[in-house]
Amino acid sequence: MILEAVMLQVKQEMEEEYEVAFREASKIISSMRGYISHELQRCMEVKGKYLLLVKWETLEDHTVGFRQSKEYQEWKKQLHHFYDPFPTVEHFENVDL
């Protein structure tokens, strides 16, 4: 399992519209092969800042299966215009302790 982590900055005064759009777009990502779960967290200190965490079975499920799909094009259409600056996506794996 890998964890996709994305810090998102939504354009000023668009937060409510973004959250509505994200709820709708969640149907897209949750239908993808290798998807496990996701959550969107709203920052309490910085208005418009969000943290998106998505669990995937494999890195390729996200980078190839989702990112190269027609469904991703719809995800982009619904969400990408809200971001400024455009977010950086990072992937993490569990450390055995």
Within a domain: residue 96? Answer: no
Within a domain: residue 51? Answer: yes
Within a domain: residue 38? Answer: yes
Closest to 30 measured CA to CA, from 4, 56, 3, 2: 56
Domain range holding 54?
2-88
Angle CA(5)–CA(65)–CA(43) in degrees, nearest 5?
20
Q: For residue 96, what pLDDT is reported? A: 94
pLDDT digits (tens, 9 = 90+) for 39-57: 999 999 999 999 999 999 9
Q: How many independent structural domains does the chain possess?
A: 1
Within a domain: residue 94? Answer: no
Domain of residue 33, CATH code: 3.30.70.100
Question: What is the rounded average pLDDT of the residues 15-28?
Answer: 98
Within a domain: residue 43? Answer: yes
Rounded Cα distance, 84 and 73, in Å: 19
Q: How confident is the model at residue 91 (pLDDT cuts 50, 70, 90)?
A: very high
Within a domain: residue 70? Answer: yes
CA 35 vs. chain centroid, Å, equals: 12
Within a domain: residue 64? Answer: yes
Cβ-contact 78, 35 below 8 angstroms: no
Task: Determine the 3-state secondary structure of 12 from DSSP.
Answer: coil
Angle CA(41)–CA(2)–CA(24) in degrees, nearest 5?
40
